[in-house]
Amino acid sequence: MMRRRLQRKGAETAEAAVTLPLVVLVIFAGFEYGWLVLRSMQLDHVARIGARYAVLSGSNGQGVQERVEAALAQAGISGATITFTPTEPSDAAPGDPVVVRIEVPYASVRLLGLSQLMPLPSSLEGRASMVREPDA
């Protein structure tokens, strides 16, 4: 009876040694994917901030750039590439779309750095498009 209990304890230890790293990896992967979604949503939000300014009467490319950079800094995101079309929002005719696109390497916004263990994107992108308003 005692021998059987000792053998079972050894089996439980071996099972725990095999499954514990997998459980920990799944938990950390959940954190990393959650972080990825958060950062992606932040990039979309920042792109909307830039597009919202770009479609207003009297806006200019420098102002869009400054607002996007300030919002990125507030979110703690650095190393982003910011593009908008048209490059000078005042060149867009009323009713034309203005697109703001932000791309950042995932390595610069990652949480845990598990890219060797799980599939993660090489970069994240935020994009917003709005229609240019008529000049007042």
Mean pLDDT value across residues 20-26:
90
45 vs 12 pLDDT, higher one: 45
The string of pLDDT tens digits covering residues 28-81 is 989 999 999 999 999 999 999 999 999 998 889 999 999 999 999 999 999 999
pLDDT of residue 1 exceeding 60: no
Under the phi-then-psi rule, with left for phi > 0, alpha for psi from -120 to 50, and beta for the rest, what region is 106? alpha
**For the chain, domain boundaries:** 2-131
pLDDT at 14: 83
And the tokens for 111? Answer: 């949480």
Whole-model pTM: value is 0.83
Range 105-114 contact pairs with CB under 8 angstroms and sequence separation of 24 or more: 105/79, 106/36, 108/77, 108/78, 108/79, 109/39, 109/77, 110/32, 110/35, 111/31, 111/32, 111/35, 112/28, 112/31, 112/32, 112/35, 114/28, 114/29, 114/32
